[in-house]
Amino acid sequence: MNLILYLIIGAVIGWFAGVVLGKNLPGGVLGNVIAGIIGAWIGSRLLGNWGPKLAEFYLIPSIIGALIFVVIISFIMNSSRMRF
């Protein structure tokens, strides 16, 4: 049951980051889950573990980390499309 909750919270964090930045993540729901989980990892490494916690995610650092991850992915996707 923890795994399911972990994936759902990861998807919501990834979706929220995409909505805030106005970016569509490649991969749909799977992309949101990956962005949320990797974003949580990035946020906890950069900002530490603080704030409200839900399903092993510290929400504030996780959201900030997901925003950073979505920006990086968007930059990579846009730069790869511009090559001829």
Alpha helices in the chain (DSSP H): 2-21, 28-47, 59-81
Tens of pLDDT, residue by residue over 24-78, are: 777 888 888 898 899 989 998 999 888 888 888 888 999 999 999 999 988 888 7
**For residue 60, what pLDDT is reported?**
92
Assess whether pLDDT exceeds 70 at residue 84: no
**For residue 82, what pLDDT is reported?**
60
**For residue 42, what pLDDT is reported?**
92
**For residue 7, what pLDDT is reported?**
87
User: 44-77 burial, b if ≥16 CB within 10 A, otherwise e?
Assistant: beeeeeeeeeebebbbebbbbbbbbbbeebbeee
**Amino acid sitting at position 25:** L
Closest CA to 75 of 21, 7, 16: 21
**For residue 61, what pLDDT is reported?**
93
